[in-house]
Amino acid sequence: MKITIIGLGLIGGSFALCLREKGVAQHIAGVDASPENAAKALEMGLIDRVVPFEEATNGADLVVLAAPVNAIPTLAVKVLNRIKPCQIAMDMGSTKGELGEMIALHPNRSRFVLTHPMWGTEKSGPEAARSDAFAGRAVVICDGGDSAPEAVRTVEEIYTRIGMTITHMTSEEQDIHTAYVSHISHITAYALALTVMEKERSEGRIFELASGGFESTVRLAKSSPSMWAPIFVQNKYNVLDVLRELIHQLQIFRRLLEKDDLEGITAAITKANEIKRII
């Protein structure tokens, strides 16, 4: 299979590496807005050649959009404008609402498969690519009924070969659930990092005293702003909804602490411990 990947950062680079190692792709072309990223991906052997966006669909069986989410809707329309009936396009973005709306009425809509592989790290760029990135993880296929059945099957087969499990949702469901389990985690990490840096002015003390718990909690605060700021904006209403609930829960803890309510704090922590049954 000949594949073109548009966006050669953490996700696109890891996808290229997995496709290569699992023998899914015989040839991988790469497109990136950053010449440095493209050159690095080529140097690392993640891709076979760099091509301009205008040539992304040339000879490709599959075109993959792994760019930042604010760029994907426009890129998707441009790809669909060039795509042939035998070709497939897909995205790997974290939000789906705007993308779905942008391509809904396109005459080639059925050739596009909306996907969200549930994996990521706080690192960025092709240097962060990992061959074990997607193994054992879930991937969401969105609005599958709007895509050609054989296009969906092909995409599912590729994800299965790199070790992922398939879940189907509507774009609306995906954006809601991802806000709950992913997007709010990043906002919380950013807010905690800002809080600590504001209150603890000594960087040396933060480094010396930070425990494993703090380090693991703020790990996501190292994530790329160019990736996450657009995600928050595109999924604004769902993120605001879950953010209101998070603030409410923090206020509950604050009131319990203000009243020295040991029993109430214990009950709240015990209830939160129930998450162990799920993950």
| CB 169 within 8 Å of CB 145 | no
Please state the φ and ψ torsions of residue 245, each to the nearest 5 degrees. Answer: -65, -40
pTM (whole model) above 0.75:
yes
All structural domains of the chain: 2-169 (3.40.50.720), 174-277 (1.10.3660.10)
Rounded Cα–Cα distance for residues 94 and 76 (Å): 15
Tokens of 202: 């000594």
Helix (H, G, I), strand (E, B) or coil at 51: coil
- Give the per-residue pLDDT at 209: 63
Low-confidence residues of the chain: pLDDT under 70: 201-213
The 10 Å Cβ neighbour count of residue 181 is: 11
CA angle 150, 152, 155 (to 5 degrees): 110
H/E stretch holding 159 reads: helix 149-161
Task: Give the closest residue to 61 by CA, choosing from 10, 101, 24.
Answer: 24
- Give the per-residue pLDDT at 208: 67
- Give the per-residue pLDDT at 88: 98
- Give the per-residue pLDDT at 228: 92
